[in-house]
Structure formats: structure tokens, C-alpha cells
Chain A
Amino acid sequence: MSDQSGWLYSEIVKEHFMNPRNILWDNEDFAADGVGITGNIKCGDEMQFLIQVDKQKGIITDCRWRTYGCASAIASTSVLSEMVKGMKLEDAYRLTPKDVVKNLGSLPEHKIHCSVLGDKALRAAIDDYYRRNGMFDKIKHEEARVICQCMNVTDHEIEEAVLEGARTYLELQERTKLGTVCGQCQEEATALLKKYIEKHFGDNRK
């Protein structure tokens, strides 16, 4: 986790943190074709992503972002903003935090949570672009599905809990309280737990 210089993460993270790319600085005018925002200030991070789109080709030509967020949110979104330029909207939509972290070198596990903000905000920006242009069929609603009926816990919340460090069913219960009443959802929740651990941490495991 720590290198010779004593910097918290990696040299690439440090470099992007020091000189974040494509930031929408407060004094800049940027005519965005799509704007997405995600996160919540109460949880300590919020991200806004803005894209310009070549409408003929369906390609992201330029982007900006800004955040109330920590070093890993800043570094990972900076990397993401470089990746998406010139990318087709559909391809950009499919980017995962894992793709971003790969380009960053590495991030400690407990910081992965902070790195998902960028691609979430990007997807929201693409959806916004589709909405503005009447392309409603392209919007992929990521609607949450309730897994635990008793405690009203959704698959999104299970994913969040995994990102926050839950690795076992017990830890999942501790964080979300799912399965603490009738327990019927245990099987499905366990499967989702496995799926999200694989999704976010599968390749990074040493």
C-alpha cells in the first residue's frame, strides 16, 4: 500500500491527484451536452460529470468533472476522464471501476468505494445526454431490486456494502440488516455478495 516515498497510494495516483485532468474549474465555461451527478455530501463525497458529444458519431469529444471528494475519488475520476475522450457512448457506459483502477495501478481495498463515483456520474451524464436528445430507449435504468423484503434491502445496497468492505454474509447482515427477520433471502443475498465481490475485487486480489 505504501511505496518508498511514503505516499499513500501509488505514484500514478499521486500524479493525478496533484494535477487532476479535465477538472471543471470554477471559472470555466463548458457547454455540456450531458450532466450527471452522484454521491451525497453527507457520506462525504459527491461527483459531477459533464460531457460534450459528437452527435453524428455518438462519441464523447470532451468532458469535465468536479467533486467534493477524497484523493482516490480525484485521482480515479481524473484517469477516467482521460479514458472516455474519443470513446463511443455505449463503450463509455460499460466502463467499470475495475477498468479505472487498472489504469491507476492500484488502490487499497477500502478506497475502491471512493473510485466508483466517477463512472457512476459518467453514466448519469450519458443518460442525461440521451434524455436531452429524446433517445429514451437508450437509457438503462439501473433500478434497484428489493432482495430482503422484511428489511427492504436492495441489490444496490448489497453492492454498496461490498464496496464498503463486507465480505461475508454476517458482515453483510451487520451493515444492511438484511436477512435478520425471516431469513428467506439468505441464498440470493449470498449469491449477490459473491457476484459483487468478484465484480469489484476479483482481479485485484493478490
Chain B
Amino acid sequence: MPDRFIYLDHNATTPLHPEVKITINEMLDIYGNPSSLHTVGRIARHKIEQAREIVANFIGAAPDEIIFVGSGSEANNTVLNSLSCPSQVCRLERNLRDEIITTAIEHPCVLETSKCLRERGTTVNYLPVDATGKVKLEVLKELLTEKTALVSVMYANNEIGTIQDIKTIIEMTHSQGAFFHTDAVQAVGKIPVDIKDLDVDFLTFSAHKIYGPKGVGALYVKRGTPFCPLIRGGHQERGRRAGTENTIGIVAFAKAIEMRKLEMSDEAERLRRFKKMLIDGIKYNIPDVQFNGHPTDALPGTLNVSFAGAEGESILLYLDLEGIGVSTGSACASGSLDPSHVILATGVGAELAHGSIRISMGRENTSNDIYYTVSALERVVKKVRDMSTTYQRKSV
């Protein structure tokens, strides 16, 4: 048993960067309402605008293109909901456009919102993915018409780490005159994302996936793009997101991003090495495994692996008892009865989907963590398989 908990669930959330903790501490006395005109208010306002510049600059945007929101989910909800707004000012529809295209592997905050849009009369089409999790571009080509208002495709997948060919998808979308949104919560701060290169219309990202605090995210909206606020009733964020600003969270978000600038590229290289160690270690020590996702176009620190005959929640909880935190695509862990929609969408069968484990590494992980994890996995998977009905060498 290691002397500390080995956290391998960074795609769920990350610990605060030590520098971010310092910033939060320093910010605790900045209590002013940024909308107040007096000195205390102006101090808070100044901090927020400084933060906005840092955040905007990191993805190559202008400060007035960044809206601070409460989470990645809120940002995604905001974009999709624009579609059903009856006002000519905010709706994304151009003329008779009322269709939306998204993918089968989006985060639930996109899938559930689009389901709701469908009930409100919007046509929603879901792009299938291939075995590696890449969106099938030929289907996108077919579905894109003069009726398409918005295409929303996640940049990098949270469960299997597959990175989409976003640039191509944006070009295809724009050539049909539709708007493009990407949920880049798992990408920004992990891999280079540059808006000047992408020409995206909307882009969602979040603080807590990159060692910032929970409860703060950002939505990039390209200048001149129609916009419909989800939360109304205040002039904050230039009228685009009402509610007194989360000053501490926003400033801490900017600090997390400053640290990303310094650490991201070395960390990505390290995590790629760790991932290779994991893959080799698992392949060498555990039979009947399958790696899910794309072999190369994937997040550096994300590895998704299925163990035949071993149920995922059991693996997760036995690993927890060994001091290791991972996540699973098994139904049992989610409270529903269906295994991961992402893994199923890649064509993996139900059994291997229930037996999938996601290992998502981050900045504080060491090579020792990886060695220990491989050995713990070997023990745990053997134990779970030894008591399994479906992984037997002997029948009764």
C-alpha cells in the first residue's frame, strides 16, 4: 500500500495547483462587488479584467470574446439553448436553419440539452464515431445542409481521450454556413488549442480540469456571433451572463492557466511516456485486455482499457482499497443500467464496456505511481476474474 493515495482520475477533476492555492488565499480579502463604482469594487473589477486577459490570451482570443461562467456544463448549455430562442437577435438560426448536429460521444450536458431541444422541435442528428472514437466525417458531410444551424463536436473525449480532427470539421461546417461549437474542457490546458488557427465560433473550457477551482468555466464567443444568455438579469459579462462574478474563482482560473503555460508541454511529454509504460505493463502482465480510443490522436494522460470477464465497478473499488483512484464505464458505477455511451459508440460490446477502466494521469503522478498501478491492476483483475462467471478455465 502506498503512503499516499495515487490519484488517476484527472479527467474527472484535478487537485489545485499549489500556486493556485496561494492565489486563492491572497484573494480571500478581495470582497468587492466588481460592479460597484467605489474603490473596493474597482479593485475586484481590475482583478477580473486582468484574469480575462490571461485566459483569453492563452487560447489566442481577445478579452471581450471570453465570458466567465459557472462550469463547462453551463457554457455548453448556453450555446445549445441559443438555438431555441425566438428572438432574432440571439438565435443562431440563419433564415430557415433549425437543425443541429452533434456526436454520439458528447458529455451528458450536451446530449441531455440536445434531447430537450429535440422535444422543443429542433432536429438533432448525432454523428457516429469509428472504433477509435473519431467522428465519421463522411456522415457529417451527408448531414450538413443549408438547414444546419449549429455543429457541436467535442475537442477531446473525456472517457477515451480521442482528439477529433476539429480543423477539418470546422471547415466543413463553415462551408455550409453553419456555426461551430466545441466542448474543449478536456483539451484546453492539456494540449495546444489556438483559436486563431481554428476559426471556431464557440469554445467551452473549464478551470477545475487544469488544477484550478471548481465552479468556474469560460465560454469563448467569436466577435459578431449571435448570442443568447442562459442566465439573464444583470449587465455582468457584458450582459451575457448575469450574476455577481465569482471573483476568487476567476482569478484562480487565470492563475491555473498561467501555470499551464509553464508546465503543459513538459507535462504532456511526461504523461505520454507514462501512458506507454502503462500500456506495456498491462499488455505484458494481464491477458485479454483491450485498449479503447485512438492510438495516437489522444490526450497524453488518458488511457481507457477493458478487461474481459472483469466488472469495472469491482475493479475500481478494489483499486480504491489499494490506494488508487480511477473511473469506469461500467453501468454499476453510474447508477444507471447502461454502460458508457462513449465506449458503446466505438462499437465495443456490452461486456467489455462494463469492464472498462479509465486511467487519467496528471501533473503530480510519478513513474512509481505507474509501476504500482500496473502491479495493483494485475492483482485486482486476477482476483475479480477468479470469481467471475464469464472468465473461467473450468466449468461446473
Q: Which residues of A contact B244 (CB under 8 A)?
A: none
Could you tell me if B350 and A42 are in contact, using CB atoms closer than 8 angstroms? yes
Residues in B whose Cβ lies below 8 Å from that of A66: 387-389
Cα–Cα distance between A190 and B179 once the two chains are bound (Å): 47
Q: Does B314 contact A (CB under 8 A)?
A: yes
User: Is A23 within 8 A of B396, CB to CB?
Assistant: no
With A8-B317, A70-B314, A71-B313 given, is the CB distance from A44 to B332 under 8 Å?
A: yes
Interface size class of B (residues with CB under 8 A): 20 to 34
Task: Say yes or no: is A52 at the interface (Cβ < 8 Å to chain B).
Answer: no
Asked if A127 CB lies within 8 Å of chain B CBs, one says no
A70 and B321 contacting across the interface, CB-CB below 8 Å: no
B335 within 8 A of A: yes
A1-54 at interface with B (beta carbon < 8 Å): 8, 17-18, 20, 23-27, 30, 32, 35, 37, 41-48, 50
Contact with A along B214-239 (1 / 0, CB 8 A): 00000000000000000000000000
CA distance A148 to B351 in the complex (A): 31
> Does any Cβ of A come within 8 Å of B393's Cβ?
yes
Report the minimum CB–CB distance from A120 to chain B (whole Å): 13
Q: Which residues on the A side are within 8 Å of B309 (C-beta)? A: 68
Which residue from B314, B321, B389 sits with its C-beta under 8 Å from A46? B389
Smallest CB-CB separation from B382: which chain A residue? A26
Contact yes or no, A67 B396, CB < 8 A: no
Q: Which residues of chain B from 354 to 391 have any CB-CB distance to chain A below 8 Å in the complex?
A: 354, 385-391
Report the minimum CB–CB distance from A111 to chain B (whole Å): 8
Nearest-neighbour CB distance to chain B for A131, whole angstroms, equals 16
> Of B311, B317, B333, which one neighbours A68 at CB under 8 angstroms?
B311
In the complex, residue of chain A having the shortest beta-carbon distance to the beta carbon of B392: A26
Contact B396 A30 (CB under 8 A): yes
- A110-B337 Cα distance, complex, nearest whole Å: 10
- Tell me the complex Cα distance, A30–B392, Å: 15
**Most chain B Cβ neighbours within 10 Å, of A18, A32, A71:** A71
Give min CB distance, A32 to chain B, whole Å.
6
A164→B337 contact, CB < 8 A: yes
Q: Which 9 A/B pairs are nearest by Cβ-Cβ distance? A: A70-B332, A70-B313, A44-B354, A42-B350, A44-B331, A26-B386, A46-B389, A110-B335, A68-B390
With an 8 Å Cβ cutoff, the count of chain A residues facing the other chain is 35
Quick one: which of B339, B387, B392 contacts A44, CB cutoff 8 A?
B339
B351 and A43 within 8 A (CB): no
B330 within 8 Å of A (CB atoms): yes
Asked whether, in the complex, the Cβ of A24 is within 8 Å of the Cβ of B331, the reply is no
**Which of A37, A45, A111 makes the CB contact (< 8 A) with B311?**
A45
Bound complex: CA A72 to CA B354 (Å): 15
Given contacts A25-B386, A44-B330, contact A69 B314 (CB under 8 A): yes
| Known contacts A26-B393, A66-B389; A71/B317 CB under 8 A | yes
Instruction: Kindly list chain B residues whose C-beta atoms are within 8 Å of the C-beta of A47.
Output: 389
Residues of chain B within 8 A of A110, CB atoms compared: 335
Known contacts A8-B317, A24-B396, A70-B313; is A48 also within 8 Å of B333 by CB? no
Tell yes or no: A114 within 8 A of B by CB.
yes
A12 to nearest B CB, angstroms? 15
How many Cβ-Cβ contacts under 8 Å join chain A to chain B? 84
Given A50-B396, A69-B314, A70-B311: A41 touches B386 (CB 8 Å cut-off): no
Closest residue of A by beta carbon distance from B391: A68
Distance (whole angstroms) from the CB of A162 to the closest CB of chain B: 13
Q: Is A113 an interface residue (CB 8 A)?
A: yes
B4 on the interface (CB 8 Å rule)? no
Q: Is A193 an interface residue (CB 8 A)?
A: no
- How far apart are B342's CB and chain A's nearest CB, in angstroms? 16
A41 touches B350 (CB 8 A): yes
Q: Are A74 and B314 in contact (CB under 8 A)?
A: yes
A113: chain B residues within 8 A (beta carbon): 337
Beta-carbon contact of B317 and A44 below 8 Å: no
Contact with A along B292-318 (1 / 0, CB 8 A): 000000000000000001110110010
Q: Does any Cβ of A come within 8 Å of B394's Cβ?
A: yes
Give Cα A18 to B317, complex, Å.
Answer: 9
Q: Which B residue's beta carbon lies closest to that of A74?
A: B314
Q: What are the residues of chain A within 8 A of B331 when measuring CB–CB?
A: 43-44
Sample of 14 further A-B pairs with CB below 8 A, known A70-B314, A70-B332, A74-B387: A20-B387, A23-B387, A27-B394, A32-B396, A41-B390, A42-B350, A44-B332, A44-B337, A46-B389, A68-B354, A70-B333, A71-B313, A71-B317, A71-B332
User: Are B387's CB and A18's CB within 8 A?
Assistant: no
Report whether A68 and B396 are in contact in the complex, using a CB–CB cutoff of 8 Å: no
CA distance A144 to B316 in the complex (A): 36
Contact yes or no, A18 B396, CB < 8 A: no
Q: Which residue of A lies closest to B321 (CB)?
A: A18
B385: chain A residues at CB < 8 Å are: 26
On whether A68 and B388 interact (CB within 8 A), knowing A26-B394, A43-B337, A164-B337, the answer reads yes
List, sorted by A's number, 28 A–B pairs whose CB atoms are closer than 8 Å. A17-B317, A18-B321, A26-B385, A26-B386, A26-B387, A30-B396, A41-B390, A42-B351, A43-B337, A44-B332, A44-B350, A45-B311, A47-B389, A50-B396, A66-B387, A67-B389, A68-B310, A68-B389, A69-B311, A69-B314, A70-B311, A70-B313, A70-B330, A71-B332, A74-B314, A110-B335, A113-B337, A114-B332
